[in-house]
């Protein structure tokens, strides 16, 4: 349970070594490099944008090539491939690829070109299909499309508005040019968009005739071909076939190239690493012949880093404690069980400056409260087994994923225990099954009590657990005060509240109100009663006097103190918030009962058993999913709002060392 100690590191080395030093640091992956140093007259940053974008471009190209391969030569991936993690690759293999990167670059280019060609072929096919569609109305015409006429006649082919017949068109023409004669109109086809016509006429009248037709909306056909429409369609169909064959050939070539997929991946990662290097290089301050790196390291790595750098290069490296005015990045370290909840903490915020790492106490409460909300032994067992199996089967999954799964595994275990305490096994499955199908009711008695039979008792215990959780938060605040040696703060912000709340609870317990809610009555001796009054009054007094202690004006200080007492309402609402433990616990149990009851409605028959199994599978899967989500969300909320609200602010920046950020493979260092 700790925020790891950080140190600041300063490295000054010869400029000629800069790339080698950076590559070394990148391979070690243990130094966070600060690239926001200010330039001055001697130390300048150099512009590496062009090299960086060169490598980024290559990353893009290789990634694009890989995507193309995935599209045409898909790799079989299982449902759980996201859990498998990256492949491990020997450093040697990487060097091999780098040495022959020219070959692979060519391959990448090749793949992209093939893709382009396939796209061109597809566009060609598309064009042919559109043309075939366009020629459909002309299929009845059995002369070549570009026929212009015979010796004495002209032929005009084209389209007019929809719904026309030969007579109407002739009439239209005569209306415009009454003297015209010796022409013949044939309608080839007509549909809702156009009428396709074919007109034959004497050469001398053709100009006038066409003018008349144009005035009525005629346009000449837009295809030019010496073939008949049918012949043209045949030609297009042949073209499509050729394109398709071509695509098949290109695809075969792609699948040949796909054999080198893993190598291309490696290359892509290599370029990615290089691009990162140049990005950092651009942020470094350099003089004419030296350069400077400043950054953060973990204290425990200090010796190793310094030694390794000194062994390999001639440079100056020094480490120092973090200066007062600087905020160091944060890295957490916790025992394996508790570290599982680090993800929960991270999504709220890492510890800020001077804050402790609350992961360990939080994880204990998290597992406890999650189980209490879900509280069904069978569900707990399912969650536990599922997480356990996945964790065992995919040992190389990403760190964050493994942590979350481990957390849920423990939560499952806690759910199992609470389920046994409250007597929930798929709700009341055993009772229902034994009653419906075996006509002999078996009831598994809860080890503690069934919340559904005694909700008030459960409510009181929920609030009690809540009080413990809140007091835990307050105690951690006290712990932080002690660490900072702020004893005034300890007394006035922590002890005072402990006294006030404890006193008030003790005052409440013997009252009738409490007895009627909790169905438990307490009789305190007068001494204890006096103690409760003293505690509450003392606590309140300290709060009134001390909480405005940084104000000079006594009236203002007093007023602020009184206002702070108003925070009691905050405590009350925090505490009532824990009633969700009861509500969510009941929700799981009751929905499970609804499912079981629905399943058993058909009764004891073969059909009844089938219905029961179906309802059981669907209903309980649904219930488990929705209540797991609910338990997850509300446990987070209780931690973030109620628990952290008492002592924790967060706002730390994660430690992000300069390392080989790969996408596809993990590079194994040779030792």
Q: Which residues are near other proteins by CB under 8 A? A: 344, 346-348, 455-456, 459, 576-577, 579-580, 582-584, 586-587, 590-591, 593-594, 597, 626, 629-630, 633-634, 636-637, 640-641
Cβ–Cβ < 8 Å for 605, 471: no
Q: Residue 431 CB, nearest distance to other proteins (Å)? A: 14
Residue 243 or 664 with smaller CB distance to other proteins: 664
Q: Residue 166 CB, nearest distance to other proteins (Å)? A: 52
Query: Distance between CA atoms of 410 and 415, rounded to whole angstroms?
Result: 9
Encoded tokens for 323:
């200066």
Q: Cα-flanking dihedrals φ and ψ of residue 20, to 5°?
A: -65, -40
Q: Residue 92 CB, nearest distance to other proteins (Å)? A: 33
Q: Residue 372 CB, nearest distance to other proteins (Å)? A: 14
Residue 48 or 577 with smaller CB distance to other proteins: 577
Q: Residue 402 CB, nearest distance to other proteins (Å)? A: 17
Q: Residue 455 CB, nearest distance to other proteins (Å)? A: 6
Residue 42 or 594 with smaller CB distance to other proteins: 594
Q: Residue 58 CB, nearest distance to other proteins (Å)? A: 24
Cβ–Cβ < 8 Å for 541, 480: no
Query: Distance between CA atoms of 339 and 329, rounded to whole angstroms?
Result: 18
Residue 282 or 630 with smaller CB distance to other proteins: 630
Query: Distance between CA atoms of 662 and 31, rounded to whole angstroms?
Result: 17
Q: Residue 161 CB, nearest distance to other proteins (Å)? A: 41
Phi-psi map region of 485: left, alpha, beta (phi>0 left; psi -120 to 50 alpha): left
Query: Distance between CA atoms of 434 and 443, rounded to whole angstroms?
Result: 9
Residue 375 or 492 with smaller CB distance to other proteins: 375
3-state secondary structure of 224: coil
Encoded tokens for 385:
């087994």
3-state secondary structure of 591: helix
Residue 456 or 475 with smaller CB distance to other proteins: 456
Query: Distance between CA atoms of 36 and 622, rounded to whole angstroms?
Result: 51
Residue 310 or 573 with smaller CB distance to other proteins: 573
Query: What are the helix (H) ranges across 484-524?
Result: 487-489, 496-508, 512-518
What Rg value do the Cα atoms of the chain yield, rounded?
A: 40
Cβ–Cβ < 8 Å for 59, 271: yes
Query: Distance between CA atoms of 42 and 297, rounded to whole angstroms?
Result: 26
Q: What is the dihedral of CA 446, 450, 456, 459, to 10 degrees?
A: 80
Q: Residue 592 CB, nearest distance to other proteins (Å)? A: 11
Residue 580 or 620 with smaller CB distance to other proteins: 580
Query: Distance between CA atoms of 340 and 403, rounded to whole angstroms?
Result: 4
Residue 260 or 376 with smaller CB distance to other proteins: 376
Cβ atoms < 10 Å from Cβ of 604:
14
Query: Distance between CA atoms of 327 and 636, rounded to whole angstroms?
Result: 27
Residue 458 or 500 with smaller CB distance to other proteins: 458
Q: Residue 452 CB, nearest distance to other proteins (Å)? A: 9
Residue 164 or 429 with smaller CB distance to other proteins: 429
Q: Which of 161, 162, 181 is nearest to 170 (CA)?
A: 181
Cβ–Cβ < 8 Å for 201, 182: yes
Reduced to 3 DSSP states, what percent helix, strand and coil does the chain have, rounded to the nearest 5? 65, 10, 25
Q: Residue 583 CB, nearest distance to other proteins (Å)? A: 5
Q: Residue 579 CB, nearest distance to other proteins (Å)? A: 5
Query: Distance between CA atoms of 296 and 302, rounded to whole angstroms?
Result: 10
The alpha carbon of residue 305 and the mean position of all alpha carbons in its chain are separated, in whole angstroms, by 34
Taken as a whole, the chain contains a residue count of 671
Q: Residue 231 CB, nearest distance to other proteins (Å)? A: 45
Q: Which of 255, 267, 237, 272 is nearest to 128 (CA)?
A: 237
Residue 81 or 299 with smaller CB distance to other proteins: 81
Encoded tokens for 484:
């900072």
Q: Residue 76 CB, nearest distance to other proteins (Å)? A: 20
The crossing angle, in degrees rounded to 10, of helices 261-281 and 49-72 is 160
Residue 285 or 373 with smaller CB distance to other proteins: 373
Residue 274 or 403 with smaller CB distance to other proteins: 403
The crossing angle, in degrees rounded to 10, of helices 567-577 and 579-600 is 20
Q: Residue 373 CB, nearest distance to other proteins (Å)? A: 11
Residue 146 or 454 with smaller CB distance to other proteins: 454
Encoded tokens for 498:
């402990």
Q: Got the DSSP string for 129-196?
A: HHHHHHHGGGTT--S-TT--B-SSEEEEEEEESSS--HHHHHHHHHHH-TT--SEEEEEEEE-SS-EE
Q: Residue 417, CB half-sphere, CA atoms under 13 Å: how many?
A: 11
Q: Residue 459 CB, nearest distance to other proteins (Å)? A: 8
Is the Cα torsion angle 319, 325, 327, 332 positive or negative in sign? positive
Residue 427 or 561 with smaller CB distance to other proteins: 427
Provide the 8-state DSSP code for 100: T
């Amino acid at each position: 349970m700790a925020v790891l100690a950080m140190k600041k590191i300063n490295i000054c080395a010869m400029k000629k070594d800069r790339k080698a030093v950076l590559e070394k640091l990148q391979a070690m992956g243990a130094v966070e490099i600060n690239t926001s140093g200010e330039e001055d007259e001697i130390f300048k940053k150099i512009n590496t944008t062009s090299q960086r974008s060169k490598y980024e471009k290559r990353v893009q190209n290789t990634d694009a090539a890989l995507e193309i391969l995935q599209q045409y030569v898909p790799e079989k991936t299982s449902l759980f491939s996201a859990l498998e993690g990256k492949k491990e690759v020997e450093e040697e293999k990487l060097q091999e690829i780098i040495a022959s990167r020219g070959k692979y670059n060519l391959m990448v280019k090749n793949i992209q070109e093939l893709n382009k060609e396939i796209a061109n072929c597809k566009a060609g096919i598309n064009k042919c299909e559109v043309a075939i569609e366009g020629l459909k109305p002309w299929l009845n015409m059995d002369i070549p499309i570009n026929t212009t006429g015979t010796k004495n006649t002209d032929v005009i082919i084209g389209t007019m508005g929809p719904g026309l017949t030969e007579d109407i068109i002739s009439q239209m023409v005569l209306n415009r040019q009454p003297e015209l004669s010796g022409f013949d109109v044939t309608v080839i086809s007509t549909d809702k968009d156009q009428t396709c016509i074919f007109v034959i006429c004497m050469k001398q009248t053709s100009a006038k005739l066409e003018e008349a037709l144009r005035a009525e909306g005629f346009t000449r056909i837009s295809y030019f071909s010496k073939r008949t429409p049918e012949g043209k369609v045949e030609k297009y169909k042949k073209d499509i076939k050729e394109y398709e064959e071509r695509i098949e050939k290109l695809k075969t070539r792609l699948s040949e190239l796909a054999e080198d997929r893993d190598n291309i991946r490696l290359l892509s990662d290599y370029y990615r690493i290089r691009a990162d290097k140049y990005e950092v290089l651009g942020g470094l301050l350099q003089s004419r012949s030296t350069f400077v790196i400043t950054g953060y390291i973990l204290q425990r790595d200090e010796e190793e880093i310094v030694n390794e750098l000194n062994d390999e290069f001639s440079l100056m490296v020094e480490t120092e404690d973090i200066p007062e005015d600087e905020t160091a990045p944060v890295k957490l370290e916790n025992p394996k069980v508790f570290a599982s909840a680090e993800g929960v903490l991270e999504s709220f915020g890492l510890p800020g400056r001077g804050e402790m790492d609350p992961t360990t106490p939080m994880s204990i409460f998290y597992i406890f409260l999650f189980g209490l909300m879900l509280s069904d032994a069978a569900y707990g067992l399912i969650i536990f087994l599922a997480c356990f199996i996945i964790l065992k089967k995919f040992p190389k999954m990403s760190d964050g994923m493994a942590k979350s799964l481990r957390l849920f595994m423990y939560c499952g275990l806690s759910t199992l225990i609470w389920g046994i305490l409250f007597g929930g096994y798929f709700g009341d499955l055993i009772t229902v099954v034994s009653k419906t199908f075996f006509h002999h009711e078996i009831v598994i008695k809860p080890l503690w009590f069934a919340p559904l039979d005694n909700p008030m008792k459960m409510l009181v215990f929920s609030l009690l657990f809540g009080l413990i959780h809140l007091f835990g938060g307050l105690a951690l605040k006290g712990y932080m005060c002690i660490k900072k040696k702020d004893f005034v703060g300890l007394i006035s912000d922590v002890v005072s509240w402990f006294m006030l709340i404890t006193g008030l609870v003790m005052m409440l317990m013997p009252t009738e109100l409490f007895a009627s809610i909790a169905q438990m009555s307490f009789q305190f001796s007068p001494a204890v009663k006096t103690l409760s009054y003293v505690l509450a009054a003392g606590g309140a007094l300290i709060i009134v006097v001390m909480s405005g202690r940084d104000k000079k004006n006594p009236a203002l200080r007093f007023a602020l103190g009184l206002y702070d007492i108003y925070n009691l309402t905050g405590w009350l609402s925090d505490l009532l918030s824990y009633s969700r433990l009861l509500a969510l616990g009941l929700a799981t149990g009751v929905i499970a009962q609804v499912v079981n009851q629905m399943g058993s409605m058909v009764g004891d028959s073969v059909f009844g058993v089938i219905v029961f199994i179906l309802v059981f599978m669907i209903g309980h899967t649904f219930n488990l999913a929705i209540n797991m989500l609910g338990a997850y969300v509300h446990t987070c909320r209780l931690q973030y709002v109620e628990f952290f609200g008492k002592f924790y602010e967060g706002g730390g920046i994660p430690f992000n060392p300069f390392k080989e950020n790969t996408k596809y493979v993990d590079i194994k260092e040779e030792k």
